[in-house]
Structures are given as C-alpha cells and as structure tokens.
Amino acid sequence: MYDSPTATADIASPALQPHGGPRLFLFAMRRMAAEGVNDAHAANALLGAFGKSYRRPLVLMRAMMLELARASSRKILVAHCCCIKLTADEARLLQAAGCAVSDPQAAYRRVSTLLANDAALGALTCVQAVAQAFTDLGRPLSLYAED
C-alpha cells in the first residue's frame, strides 16, 4: 500500500492546521501505510490528540487501512510522513472522509475511484466510521471536503 508519491496538494493549507483532524488523519494514515497498522507513532499521535478516548479512532483507522488494502484493485500512493504535499490518492481519501457522513454517495464515488473497484461499500463504511469518530471527538474531517 506504500509507494512513491505523486504530489498534488499542499498540506500547509488552512484546512490542514497543525492540530486539526485532517492533518492527524493524514499522519496516522501515512504511518500505518508505511509501518503497519500497529505503528506506535500513529497510536501515540491519536493518544496525544484525543486523550483517553483515543482507542475508538485508532481501532477504526486500523480497520479502515486494512479494508482499503483488501478492497483495492490498485496501489494507493501515500507520501512519507514528512512530506508537505498530498498525493492524489490521499487527497481523494480526505475528501471522501470529509463528506462521508453528510454525502455518502459522493464519498462512495471517491472511494470507488480510489480503489478502482465498484465493490467499495465496506471501505466506505470504514471511512464513515473514522470520520464520525473524529467528529465526535472534536476534530472533524469535513473541513477538507469540497463544496
């Protein structure tokens, strides 16, 4: 699931503030893609951001990463953690997560495109669960969604 990035967007944009949900989501996703779903740095980042409530987003992020890997018909390009730019795949996933709760059909189209697979309902469900967990804990991912 980890490959060389194709840069398309800048994570220094106002929507991706240092302590915002999208940047935390992106960091955890990149760490789990690079080092596996049991990466301690990703878990520590979620612990630092969410405190005692970190387990729900951590478990859901792990499930989402595993489901994306299982359902994908192609490689998903993920940049290194220190990279300032987003890959097109990362941007598509963040956009899907941003609108997953409010507009599931648009999120489904984005996830299907990301995975190159029309059978992406399981992945969409995981993305929705992660988005809802981040929103419930005060770091919504909808800040990055396109209107």
What is the pLDDT averaged over residues 118-129?
95
Model pTM score: 0.84
What is the pLDDT averaged over residues 27-51?
96
Does 55 map to a domain?
A: yes
Structural domain containing residue 81 = 12-144
* Residue 100 DSSP one-character state: T
pLDDT digits (tens, 9 = 90+) for 50-108: 999 999 999 999 999 999 999 999 999 999 988 888 999 999 999 999 999 999 999 99
Which residue is listed with tokens 């989402």? 64
Helix (H, G, I), strand (E, B) or coil at 72: coil
Give residue 57's region: left, alpha or beta (phi > 0; psi -120 to 50).
alpha
Does 111 map to a domain?
A: yes
Does 4 map to a domain?
A: no
Cβ atoms of residues 100 and 124 within 8 Å:
yes
Does 1 map to a domain?
A: no
Q: Phi and psi at residue 7, in whole multiples of 5°?
A: -70, 135
Alpha helices in 79-139 (DSSP H): 88-99, 104-115, 121-136
Does 3 map to a domain?
A: no
Does 2 map to a domain?
A: no
- pLDDT at position 143 is 59
Does 135 map to a domain?
A: yes
